[in-house]
Structure 1
């Protein structure tokens, strides 16, 4: 079993299902695909994975979620784990939030909903190349 993970965080379950389906289809079982429906849950999953000695390579996070927005979540992640590649997925983020994530979370890319499968896979692969 792999000890490398990709974490997807979005408050819409159908989005999480679609992301994991597309990633599994193109990247296979080389990675563990984890999901969380809030930023707070994402932080918990992150901690669990790290405690289980799993390397989180990439986090794909929605921007507009209840509680903590994606740029704030990715900034928290980056402050603790600067080697994790961060990707924001959004249908509604303003330019200021994207710039904030680029500056504070070393944002690798921002994908806009609806994204294409090719765009997602290209972004993930280019993120993996940074590692």
Structure 2
């Protein structure tokens, strides 16, 4: 059986690389780690894995990206996959976008960039424990 997925979405490759290193260090081989440089790419990844019967269980998304903003992306994901744990990781989101993501996407956490690795791991762990209940 394929492991569940943690998906990170950010238009900066350096941020994605940093996230992947931190996640692998914390969770090792418990999960698969996918990176997407846009919301559209992330949606394709989610659909591809879902068609193979594999769950994306956590999404860590930037807000300010070309095309679809992070809050809009997370709302779209929530409409199709409400159990996915959604975390917004950004230095750019305005308060109304965060509130919209909380209300319409059941945003689990908001973390500001630059982020603390321990805070990110804690947010993912608490989201997964909530998801499993």
SS at match of 2:108: strand
SS at match of 1:118: helix
Deviations 1:14-37 (A, max 9, x none): 100100100000111000000100
Partners of 2:52 and 2:17 in 1: CA distance: 23
The equivalent of 1:96 in structure 2 is 96
The equivalent of 2:73 in structure 1 is 73
| Count of equivalent residues | 131
Residues 3 and 53 in structure 1, CA contact (< 8 A), matched pair in contact too: no
Deviation, structure 1 residue 130:
1.1
Q: What are the ranges of 5 or more consecutive residues in structure 2 without an aligned counterpart?
A: none
SS at match of 1:130: helix
Deviation, structure 1 residue 51:
1.2
The equivalent of 1:87 in structure 2 is 87
Deviation, structure 1 residue 2:
4.1
Partners of 1:119 and 1:52 in 2: CA distance: 32
The equivalent of 2:3 in structure 1 is 3
The equivalent of 2:116 in structure 1 is 116
The equivalent of 1:130 in structure 2 is 130
Deviations 1:6-61 (A, max 9, x none): 00000000100100100000111000000100000000000011112111111000
TM, length-normalised to structure 1:
0.97
Which structure shows the bigger proportion of residues in strand conformation?
1
TM, length-normalised to structure 2:
0.96
The equivalent of 2:27 in structure 1 is 27
SS at match of 1:127: helix
Partners of 2:21 and 2:2 in 1: CA distance: 17
Runs of 4+ in structure 1 deviating by more than 2 angstroms, as ranges, are none
Once superposed, what is the RMSD of the aligned Cα atoms?
0.9
